Amino acid sequence: MFIDEAKIRVKAGDGGNGCMAFRREKFVPRGGPSGGDGGHGGDVVMVSSQRHNTLIHFRYNPEHKGQRGEHGMGSNCSGSDGNSVTLQVPVGTSLYDQETGELVHDFSAPDEQVVIAKGGRGGRGNQHFATSVHQAPREHELGRPGEERLYRLELKLLADVGLVGYPNAGKSTLISRISAARPKIADYPFTTLEPNLGVVTVGEEPNLESFVVADMPGLIEGAHLGSGLGTQFLRHIERTRLLLHLVDVSDASGRPDPVEDFKVINKELASFTNANGEHLLANKTMIVAATKIDSANPEKLKKLATHVKRRKLEFHAISAVTGQGIEELKWALARRLQPAGDADAGDMK
């Protein structure tokens, strides 16, 4: 089970203090109390959004505060209310009270709103305390403090991008380069025995985007019939929005033709069926990346590039060792994960 977790501290705004004042005007003796009320403090609100798919933005930013209410003023002027802050979480997030461990809310649909820290009430000014027998009240209230709480957020991660390719193509090396995931990497096939997830971020706050990449075990010819590690694990990427197909264009692969490699893996993906007999990997949007270009065989690189472009698929060339092409690839994935990016899916046969 892959779980993303974040701990946050939230503090709603304090209420403004009520004011103690008396009307003072020429020819109006004993003008009476005129202290205005304090404004209410801003709430901290949490809302579920479809624009986010990880909790990573809270790791950079674990504290959130509502604005305080303004103090009341003389001449019966009330202070204005503080602004509330809204925190967005992905659909599927569970919100727990960090102290009691109690589940506060499960965000299961978009646009669910919960006030997670209530702003303090503003205090009343002395104008409210006047009675017929108490005409010059000096009482006025202080604003109430805003609620302060610690929460824990939990989200079951679902992969957005699945990494596929032959064993040794460099899948684990790539995920370790673009995320905090640290899978085992080695120059023998089938190093990776089960999927590893990594969270990838691009850009910076406030425009930080993040998505989840799944590093998969390698595939070989006949995998759907049980060769190698088989294709069972592919069910973990059935629901991803994108496949990133890595093809080794160095001579380390020991195979002569990267185009052949590419076709073999595509055939395995296309023949994968899930428990309901659906071929969900056959027509998924795919981006292709030639790997190990620091030691590429130029012929192989050219041949693969030509073939992939002819298929009208997006093509990248990367080296996880030198970092070449990695940044561009991250942005390309982010771009294709945006809702409009699905439009130009190529075919992968």
Ligand X SMILES: Nc1nc2c(ncn2[C@@H]2O[C@H](COP(=O)(O)OP(=O)(O)OP(=O)(O)O)[C@@H](O)[C@H]2O)c(=O)[nH]1
Tell me which residues touch ligand X (CB under 6 A): 165, 167-173, 185-187, 189-192, 217-218, 291-292, 294-295, 319-321
DSSP state of 325: T
Q: Which two tokens stand for residue 319?
A: 């080296």
Cβ proximity to Mg ion: between 34 and 192 the closer is: 192
Least distance between Mg ion and beta carbon 170 (Å):
8
**Contact of residue 331 among ligand X, Mg ion, none (CB under 5-8 Å per partner type):** none
What radius of gyration do the chain's Cα atoms show?
Answer: 30
| Spatial separation of the C-alpha atoms in residues 252 and 57, rounded to whole Å | 39
Nearer to Mg ion, 175 or 293 (CB): 175
Find the shortest distance in angstroms from Cβ 171 to Mg ion. Answer: 5
Burial class (CB within 10 angstroms; exposed 0-12, middle 13-18, buried 19+) of 311? middle
Our CB check for ligand X shows the closer of 18 and 217 to be: 217
Residues 111 to 170 in contact with Mg ion, rule: CB under 5 A: none
Site size for Mg ion, by CB under 5 A? 4
Burial status of residue 296 (CB atoms within 10 A of its CB: 0-12, 13-18, 19 or more): buried
Q: How far is the CB of 333 from ligand X (least distance, A)?
A: 17
**Residue 319 lies near Mg ion (rule: CB under 5 A):** no
* Three-class DSSP category at 314: strand
DSSP 311: T
Measured from the CB atom, is 95 or 181 closer to ligand X? 181
Residue 160 burial (C-beta neighbours within 10 Å; 0-12, 13-18, 19+): buried
- For Mg ion, give the closer residue by CB, 55 or 243: 243
Query: Segment contacting Mg ion (CB under 5 A): 131-139, 187-195, 303-311, 323-331?
Result: 187-195
Shortest distance in whole angstroms from residue 292 CB to Mg ion? 14
Q: Tell me which of Mg ion, ligand X, none is bound by residue 173, counting a contact when its beta carbon lies within the kind-specific cut-off of 5 to 8 angstroms.
A: ligand X
Smallest distance from the beta carbon of 325 to ligand X, in angstroms?
10
The item of ligand X, Mg ion, none sharing an interface with residue 319, based on CB under 5 to 8 Å by kind, is ligand X
**Residue 223 phi/psi, 5° resolution?**
-55, -35
**DSSP three-state, residue 199:** strand
Residue 16's φ and ψ, nearest 5 degrees, are -75, 155
Burial class (CB in 10 A: 0-12, 13-18, 19+), 292: buried
Q: Are 22 and 56 in contact (CB under 8 A)?
A: no
Q: Please, what sign has the CA dihedral across residues 183, 235, 239, 287?
A: positive
292 binds, among ligand X, Mg ion, none (CB under 5 to 8 A by kind): ligand X
- What 3-state class would DSSP assign to 291? strand
CB 44 within 8 A of CB 12: yes
Q: Which does 186 bind (CB under 5 to 8 A by kind): Mg ion, ligand X, none?
A: ligand X
Which segment (188-196, 199-207, 223-231, 259-267) binds Mg ion by CB under 5 A? 188-196
- Given Mg ion, ligand X, none, residue 142, with its beta carbon under 5 to 8 Å by kind, binds none
Residue nearest to ligand X (CB): 218
What is the DSSP track for 88-112? EEETTEEEEETTT--EEEE--STT-
Residue closer to ligand X by CB (options 92, 189) is 189
Q: Which is nearer to ligand X, 157 or 247 (CB)?
A: 247
The listed partner (Mg ion, ligand X, none) that binds 320, CB under 5 to 8 Å by sort, is: ligand X
- To ligand X, the closest distance from the beta carbon of 329 in angstroms equals 12
Q: Identify any residues that bridge with 291 across adjacent strands, giving them in sequence order.
A: 248
Q: List the single partner that 122 binds among ligand X, Mg ion, none, CB under 5 to 8 Å by kind.
A: none
